[in-house]
A and B are shown apart, each in its own frame.
Chain A
């Protein structure tokens, strides 16, 4: 009976959504909005337009990846709030799980796991670092890069019973989070706006371009990596 009623409710909901489809533009033929247009042309202040890869110079934002330019430059304050939400979640996890014993399996982990961690871990950490350093040029950035590093830490936890991060995530997290705010305050001191892009932006597509965007994304990478490693360390305990 319960299943039947649930099916009816879900079916009605899906039919309601499908009926609202006529209000939406057809899939694949959306008109790009004026705001997105300005972001793509790097024309928000009205002095950009016609960006060309490897040629355009000293734009208001030099990141080749438009999504990164929105997340870390135009809406950087929003990202600061987002990182704070993640920090609060990590804090909540460690508060809730405080005092639970560490899980012991009682036997040595598999030989394949132990050996392959030694080979894979440097590669995983290198790949994560590559992802967040090239956040303004390629898909990715601080959030995926930090997650990849946290996955490497999870492998370490699975392969070695004695491994413990103890307080390292807290320090890395605190330092990189404060540096993010310091970057914003430096912008406030130099140009009068919090988190403004105060460095020269260079040529679109260079590794050393886009002003503070790579710096902030590297800080976010460290912060997210430390936070998620802390969550992994907290959850990897005996219930």
Chain B
């Protein structure tokens, strides 16, 4: 089931990327795809009836889901944040230059110059 949620979110992200004209919406769409891929990788490590991979008072011996995808996704999330921040700062520069984030209006302004 979670697989389908991840696929639908990837679809939503790609649909947004294809149809929207606002550059900021492109960035948000890419972030949605990023999140969907993370959900998919995490769900690959889930095992029915097992606990989060932390030794604690409640799980004193190992009865854990796969910890490896979670560790990899931790890396992916941090890099996603970095990309998002860099993209947002580039968009600020674009807005400063053209006064708009619309792809078609930017193309017209480019053609006029």
Please list the residues of chain A having a beta carbon within 8 angstroms of any beta carbon in chain B: 2-3, 5-7, 9-11, 13-14, 17-18, 21, 24, 27-30, 32-33, 35-36, 39-41, 50-54, 64-67, 70-71, 75, 78-79, 82, 85-86, 88-90, 92-93, 96-97, 100, 137-139, 143, 204-205, 224, 228, 231, 234-235, 237, 239
**In the complex, how many residue pairs between chain A and chain B have their CB atoms under 8 Å apart?**
156
In the assembled complex, the CB of A43 is this many whole angstroms from the nearest CB of chain B, namely 11
**B7 touching A14, Cβ below 8 Å:** yes
State whether A40 and B53 are in contact (beta carbons under 8 Å apart), knowing that A70-B68, A79-B75, A96-B89 are contacts in the complex: yes
| Residues in chain B near residue A75, CB distance under 8 A | 71
- Looking at chain B's contact residues, is the secondary structure mostly helix, strand, loop, or mixed? helix
Report the separation of the CA atoms of residues A9 and B11 in the bound assembly, to the nearest whole angstrom.
9
| Residues in chain B near residue A138, CB distance under 8 A | 54
The contact string, 1 if C-beta is below 8 Å from chain A, for chain B 49-64, is 0001111110111101
**A9 touching B52, Cβ below 8 Å:** no
**B14 touching A33, Cβ below 8 Å:** no
Report the separation of the CA atoms of residues A235 and B88 in the bound assembly, to the nearest whole angstrom.
8
Q: Kindly report which residue of chain A lies nearest to residue B21, judged by CB atoms.
A: A2
Number of B interface residues in the complex (CB < 8 A): 51
| Interchain Cβ contacts under 8 Å between A and B, 16 examples | A10-B18, A14-B8, A18-B4, A27-B2, A27-B46, A36-B68, A40-B67, A67-B67, A82-B75, A86-B81, A93-B89, A137-B54, A143-B74, A228-B81, A231-B85, A235-B85
| Residues in chain A near residue B48, CB distance under 8 A | 28-29
Report the separation of the CA atoms of residues A234 and B45 in the bound assembly, to the nearest whole angstrom.
37
Report the separation of the CA atoms of residues A201 and B67 in the bound assembly, to the nearest whole angstrom.
20
| Residues in chain B near residue A235, CB distance under 8 A | 85, 88-89, 92
